[in-house]
Amino acid sequence: MIVKIGGCQLELIQGDITTQEVDAIANAANSALAGGGGVDGAIHAGGGPQIMQELKDQYPEGCPTGSAVVTSAGDLPARYVLHAVGPVWRGGREGEPELLAAAYRSCLKLAVEHNCNSIAFPAISTGVYNYPLDQAAAVALKATLDFVKWNKKPQQIRFVLFNEGTYGAFSRMLDELVP
């Protein structure tokens, strides 16, 4: 599924984020930047030990929830990995939507600062952090669309969604937001 927003293209695909040939891929990281499972584990496995070494050297204090930091992409086809820390779902009354939107905006700002024309996102916080899929899709897509409307960058944004259910949730929400 592809939509055009001004001069930018937003795309939804089902697939593996580690294989994307884009300037930057976003990682669903934890606040300690210590590696983990899911997307984080796949990115570290595919990118090699260089990514973890950069995280340890450059960000020894970790990264707060709602923010992101940048490293090289190691052995991955992208140039950069943007390590975004999304919120753990605690019922929605502890600022989770704002923190999730901030994590996506932080990645987009880093992408623009590093002259990235293309970025690929996973569905941040929807794995072990248990963010409800439909709500996460709404927050992610709205934050991304708002950023692109104001900044006219990056030129290509791709949501790489791991399974059919995640793709379906994002697809339904994108249909609502961009009729």
Distance between CA atoms of residues 171 and 174, nearest Å: 5
Nearest residue to 163 via CA among 3, 12, 11, 22: 12
8 A C-beta contact, residue 33 and residue 15: no
Catalytic site residue 134?
Answer: no
Q: Where are the beta strands (DSSP E) in 6-88?
A: 8-14, 24-29, 68-72, 80-85
Give the separation between CA 161 and CA 28, rounded to whole angstroms: 12
Give the span between the Cα atoms of 58 and 18, in whole angstroms: 22
Tokens of 178: 């961009």
Please tell me the distance from the alpha carbon of residue 132 to that of residue 29, in angstroms, as a whole number.
Answer: 18
Out of 16, 23, 40, 134, the active site residue is 40
Element spanning 98, H or E: helix 96-113
Catalytically active residues are 40
